[in-house]
């Protein structure tokens, strides 16, 4: 741990008393650090000495951009370099129906902060995969070109999807203009808003591990539904109370779930192909 202790101390320009391993995920080593001034920090480090500077930079830019909205709490970025990012450690807590309702309202405020374009001015990452944030002005074509096609090609090249599955998703991509619903301006979204990236420090919903960019606000809500966020019905009520959604949004949930499902196919294999297939069919028949 000496090396990590020295690196965290150097980044924070502070004395570090203790560093411990919290686990690993997507090739990142997770660490807890205790600083001499009593603060606790969380760090992600390159587990095998890889140069993950672009990924850490994307996380730092995303967290700071989300924080600018003053809507949903996020960790403070204490420092980062090519091999590590260090964040403030959020205090513990758990969800309640009341805090879920507030989180929904806070998320609506975050989205309303908006973005200049779809995409972002920094190269993105989602988990350990590059995320193309090239700006765009029309969401349907941007979503097809920047979120569906690159991961569909990656999955196809790795023989993780059948030819029929590839054609099915290609059909969705080709018809996005008619499937996307009413046009909306770019929202300031988290971009990887599954339940594991929502923490509840002191009972208030907070966000970690963003793939932040200007996107469609229905994307974050679809991600919350994909793996079952706690008290999802209360989150949605809180959101709708602050910013009503366009008609037909529930039927478009599978459309917005296609990107994260493609990411899961690329990261975890063909076991997610069936869910991808089901979502694509639902998107086409909504």
Give the C-alpha separation, 201 to 76, whole Å.
14
Cβ–Cβ under 8 Å, residues 18 and 38: no
76 catalytic per annotation: no
Tokens describing residue 124: 């993105």
| SS3 letters across 232-254 | HHHHHHHHHHHCCCCCCCHHHHH
| Bridge partners, 81 (sequence order) | 84
Nearest to 155 by CA among 260, 55, 28, 253: 260
Of 106, 192, 209, 220, which one is the catalytic site residue? 192
* Residues sharing a CB contact under 8 Å with residue 71, sequence separation 6 or more, in sequence order: 106, 107, 109, 110, 112, 113
Active site residues: 192
């Amino acid at each position: 741990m000496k090396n990590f202790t020295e690196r965290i101390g150097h980044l924070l320009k502070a004395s570090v008393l203790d560093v411990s391993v919290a686990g690993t995920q997507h090739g990142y080593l997770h660490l807890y650090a205790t600083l001499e001034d009593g603060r606790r920090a969380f760090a992600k480090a390159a587990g095998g000495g890889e140069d993950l500077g672009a990924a850490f930079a994307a996380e730092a830019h995303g967290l700071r951009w989300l924080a600018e909205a003053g809507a949903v709490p996020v960790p403070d970025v204490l420092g980062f370099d090519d091999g590590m990012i260090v964040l403030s450690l959020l205090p513990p807590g758990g969800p309640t129906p009341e805090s879920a309702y507030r989180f929904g309202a806070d998320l609506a405020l975050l989205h309303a902060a908006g973005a200049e374009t779809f995409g972002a001015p920094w190269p993105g990452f989602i988990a350990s995969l590059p995320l193309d944030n090239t700006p765009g002005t029309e969401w349907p074509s941007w979503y097809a070109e920047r979120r569906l096609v690159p991961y569909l090609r990656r999955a196809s090249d790795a023989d993780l999807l059948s030819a029929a599955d590839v054609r099915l998703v290609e059909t969705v991509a080709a018809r996005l203009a008619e499937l996307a619903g009413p046009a909306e301006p770019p929202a300031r979204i988290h971009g990887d808003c599954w339940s594991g990236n929502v923490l509840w420090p002191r009972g208030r919903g907070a966000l970690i591990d963003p793939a932040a960019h200007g996107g469609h606000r229905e994307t974050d809500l679809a991600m919350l539904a994909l793996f079952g966020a706690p008290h999802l019905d209360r989150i949605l009520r809180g959101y709708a109370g602050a910013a009503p959604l366009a008609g037909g949004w529930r039927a478009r949930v599978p459309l917005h779930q296609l990107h994260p499902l493609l990411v899961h196919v690329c990261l975890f294999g063909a076991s997610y192909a069936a869910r991808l297939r089901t979502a694509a069919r639902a998107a086409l028949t909504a």
